[in-house]
Amino acid sequence: MDKPTILVTGSSGLIGSEVSMYFSKELNYSIHGVDNNQRAVFFGPQGDTRWNQQRLQNELKDYTHHEMDIRDREGVMQLLKKIKPDVIVHAAAQPSHDRAAAIPFDDFDTNAVGTLNLLEAARQACPESPFIHMSTNKVYGDAPNSIALKEEATRWDYADENYFHGIPESFTIDQSKHSLFGASKVAGDVMVQEYGRYFNMPTCCLRGGCLTGPNHAGVELHGFLSYLVKCNLDGKEYKVFGYKGKQVRDNIHSLDVARFMAAFVDNPRSGEVYNLGGGKANSTSILEAFKITEEFTGKAQVYSYVEENRIGDHICYYSDLRKMRLHYPQWDITQSLQETIRQIVEAWRAR
C-alpha cells in the first residue's frame, strides 16, 4: 500500500520542518517540501534555512524538496495536480511586522496571494484533503491592547475576568492597527475560512502566537525566544522595545503544533479557526524569559531598553486553548516553557 503524502510549504522553517519530521517519523507519510529559502531574502544571512533543508534531506528517506515560490501560481497549480497530496500544511510566509512595511508587495503577494494560489490549486487537485494554514495572532491587530490590564512585578496581565483563560477565537479582528504583515495575514486567514465554508473543504486557520523550538533560526525581527537565548549565549545586547519588558506572550513548542495538526487530519472540520499557543501556563514576559534563560546558561542577560514599542505590538497576549481542547480532547500541551527554553539553549550551543 502506498504511503499517504503531505505537502508542506515553508518546509525548511521552524514549523514546516517539525511537521515534516513528525508526519514522516511518527505517522509514516511521504513528505513533499516546498521552500525557496525566502527567509534569507527577508532577513539576510542569519535567516538562512538551508541547514534545515539539508537536515530533512539527510534524515528523511521519503522527503522530496521542491524549490518553488508560492507566488508562482502556475507552478503551484501544476505541483498540486501532480502530487495530489492527502494533506496540505501551509506554513510559508513573510513573518515580520517590521519587514512588511519595507516590502509591502512582497509581503502581500506571499501571505495573501500565495495562500490563494494554494487554496485554488487544492480545490482543483484534491478538494477533500485537509488544508491547514498557519495564520497568526496578529490578525487581531492591537485590539487585545484595549483589554483592561494590571501591572505586576514582572509582567502585565488581564484585569478583565472574561480573559482569565486568554484570548478566544471570537475576539474581534476588525478596526484595529495590524501592521501590513497582520493585514496580509488577515486576507489569507479569511480566504482559508471561505474555501472551507463556501466550497465545504476541510480547512483550518491556526492563529499562532510565539511558535518556537530548538530548530528556530530566530532573528531580532522574528523568533523572540530563540533570538533572546542566542543573545544570552553570545553575550550580545538584547533590545527591549517598550512596555518595561513586561509584555507577555504564550509560547508553544513546534512539536505540540505538529501534534495538533495530526489531530485535525484525523478528524477534519470545515472553515475552522483555532488560537494556537502555549496558553496561560506557557506564557512569559521578556523579563521572566531572561531569568529562565539565565538559569540554563549561567550567564547574565545583557540588554538595553528602548522607550518605544513596536507598531501593533501586543502588551499582553496568551491564547485561550479551551476550543482546541473541546474539539480535540486527545491533544494538549506536552512541552513546558522551561523545557522548551532548555532545548533552545542546547540547540544553539550545538550549532
**Contact by Cβ (8 Å): 14, 49:** no
Q: How far apart are CA 65 and CA 54, in angstroms?
A: 10
What pLDDT is recorded for position 159? 98
Is 196 inside any structural domain? yes
Is 150 inside any structural domain? no
Q: What is the pTM of this model?
A: 0.94
User: pLDDT tens per residue, the chain (351 residues)?
Assistant: 689 999 999 999 999 999 999 999 999 999 999 999 887 777 777 778 899 999 999 999 999 999 999 999 999 999 999 999 999 999 999 988 788 999 999 999 999 999 999 999 999 999 999 999 999 999 999 999 999 999 999 999 999 999 999 999 999 999 999 999 999 999 999 999 999 999 999 999 999 989 999 887 777 766 789 999 999 999 999 999 999 999 999 999 999 999 999 999 999 999 999 999 999 999 999 999 999 999 999 999 999 999 988 776 899 999 999 999 999 999 999 999 999 999 999 999 997
Q: Which residue pairs from 22-28 have beta carbons closer than 8 angstroms and sit at least 24 positions apart in sequence? A: 22/255, 22/258, 22/259, 22/262, 23/87, 23/258, 23/262, 24/60, 24/62, 24/63, 25/60, 26/262, 27/262, 28/3, 28/4
What is the domain range of residue 11? Answer: 5-144+168-216+252-281+313-335
Q: How far apart are CA 200 and CA 196, in angstroms?
A: 5
Is 265 inside any structural domain? yes
Give ∠ CA 218-221-222 in degrees, rounded to 5: 45
What pLDDT is recorded for position 312? 67
Is 304 inside any structural domain? no
Q: Domain containing 92 — which CATH number?
A: 3.40.50.720
Is 244 inside any structural domain? no
Those residues with Cβ within 8 angstroms of residue 206's Cβ, 6 or more apart along the chain or in another chain: 132, 133, 134, 135, 257, 260, 261, 274, 276
Q: Which residue pairs from 61-67 have beta carbons closer than 8 angstroms and sit at least 24 positions apart in sequence? A: 62/3, 62/24, 62/29, 62/30, 62/31, 63/20, 63/24, 63/31, 63/33, 64/30, 64/31, 64/32, 64/33, 65/11, 65/33, 65/35, 66/32, 66/33, 66/34, 66/35, 67/35, 67/36
Is 235 inside any structural domain? no
Q: How far apart are CA 137 and CA 108, in angstroms?
A: 17
Is 11 inside any structural domain? yes
243, three cell numbers = 512596555
Q: How far apart are CA 108 and CA 318, in angstroms?
A: 26
Q: Which helix (H) or strand (E) holds 125?
A: helix 114-125
What pLDDT is recorded for position 262? 98
Those residues with Cβ within 8 angstroms of residue 202's Cβ, 6 or more apart along the chain or in another chain: 128, 129, 130, 131, 196, 268, 269, 270
Q: How far apart are CA 111 and CA 167, in angstroms?
A: 23
Count the domains in the chain. Answer: 1
Is 320 inside any structural domain? yes
